[in-house]
């Protein structure tokens, strides 16, 4: 399939995990991908994988912190302006931090929301003019199963993802008549750097996680399982999907 051969896509969080897998999938389907991450090392891995797949010529790397408004305006704004158009935005960048809520500092809380929620807003705001100009723009935001189901010790993370979910509904409604679609994915039970090291407190009650295993498969799924869904939603195959969220967790929260 070459569902993206005539499209330019920006993917944040492209240096690891689901973001990196999404870049690989969209390149495999013919897309021209602008891959952004705060980690240069991570982006180098993404670039090497694209080179091995023979798709490096359709990959552009952007290093920036999405919580920094000036960096978003300079790095992302400059890159998409040079490209001249943008068809799809995938906001995959985010961090997962865990702590007892009563021990959560304001600095800790603000940092998680600054990257996950405010970063998603800043990147989306920067990209909206070109997405609207395309007439068929798509925004895929990353919520989480934590936005709707109890994930202990993750109050800041869950709040940020709930905010992203609400933000997605808002822009879907606000810009629908201009041809924009906005959808959120809510991954859960996915193996990535984020979930491998969530920083659960040493004195955590692990019995609280008893109902957080997928019902299908043999443990956490590969990030590619989410990337395939994102490709569907961002393509014309998802043309009638907007203003909603799709849970991708192997039945963890049935």
Residue 177 placed within a domain: yes
Look up 153 and say whether it is catalytic.
no
Residue 39 placed within a domain: yes
Per-residue pLDDT tens over the stretch 107-137: 999 999 999 999 999 999 999 999 999 999 9
Q: Which domain holds residue 110?
A: 8-248
| The pLDDT of residue 1 | 77
Residue 165 placed within a domain: yes
Query: Which residues does the chain have with pLDDT short of 50?
Result: none
Q: How many domains does the chain have?
A: 1
Instruction: Yes or no: say if 66 and 60 are a contact pair by the CB < 8 Å rule.
Output: no
Q: Which whole-number Å values give the CA distances from 188 to 21, 82, 96, 226, in the listed order?
A: 15, 36, 12, 10
| The pLDDT of residue 206 | 83
- DSSP per position, 154-199: -HHHHHHHHHHHHHHHHHHHHHGGGT-EEEEEEE-SB-SHHHH---
Query: Residue 241 is part of a domain; what is its CATH number?
Result: 3.40.50.720
| The pLDDT of residue 208 | 83
| The pLDDT of residue 102 | 97
Residue 1 placed within a domain: no
| Residue among 110, 188, 179 nearest 147 (CA) | 188
Instruction: Yes or no: say if 73 and 123 are a contact pair by the CB < 8 Å rule.
Output: no
| The pLDDT of residue 44 | 98
- Candidate list 157, 167, 175, 220, residue with the active-site label: 157
| The pLDDT of residue 193 | 64
Residue 254 placed within a domain: no
Output the six-digit token pair for 61: 């790397």
| The pLDDT of residue 150 | 85
Residue 3 placed within a domain: no
């Amino acid at each position: 399939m070459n569902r993206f051969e005539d499209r330019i896509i920006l993917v944040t969080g492209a240096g690891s995990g689901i973001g990196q897998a999404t870049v690989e999938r969209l390149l495999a389907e013919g897309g021209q991908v602008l891959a952004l991450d705060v980690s240069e090392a991570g982006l180098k891995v993404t670039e090497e994988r694209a080179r091995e797949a023979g798709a490096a010529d359709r990959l552009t790397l952007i290093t920036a912190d999405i919580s920094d408004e000036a960096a978003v305006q300079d790095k992302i704004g400059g890159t998409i302006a040079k490209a001249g158009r943008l068809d799809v935005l995938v906001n995959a960048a985010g961090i997962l931090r865990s702590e007892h809520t009563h021990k959560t500092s304001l600095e800790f809380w603000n940092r998680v929301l600054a990257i996950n929620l405010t970063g998603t807003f800043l990147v989306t705001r920067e990209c909206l003019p070109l997405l609207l100009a395309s007439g068929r723009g798509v925004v895929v935001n990353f919520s989480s199963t934590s936005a709707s189901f109890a994930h202990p010790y993750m109050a800041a993370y869950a709040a940020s993802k709930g905010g992203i979910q609400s933000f997605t509904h808002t822009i879907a409604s606000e810009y629908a008549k201009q041809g924009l679609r906005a959808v959120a994915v809510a991954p859960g039970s996915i193996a990535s750097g984020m979930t491998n090291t969530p920083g659960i407190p040493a004195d955590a009650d692990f019995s609280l996680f008893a109902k957080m295993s997928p019902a299908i498969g043999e443990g956490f799924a590969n990030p590619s399982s989410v990337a395939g869904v994102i490709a569907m939603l961002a393509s014309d195959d998802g043309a009638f999907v907007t203003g909603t969220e799709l849970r991708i967790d192997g039945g963890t929260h049935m």
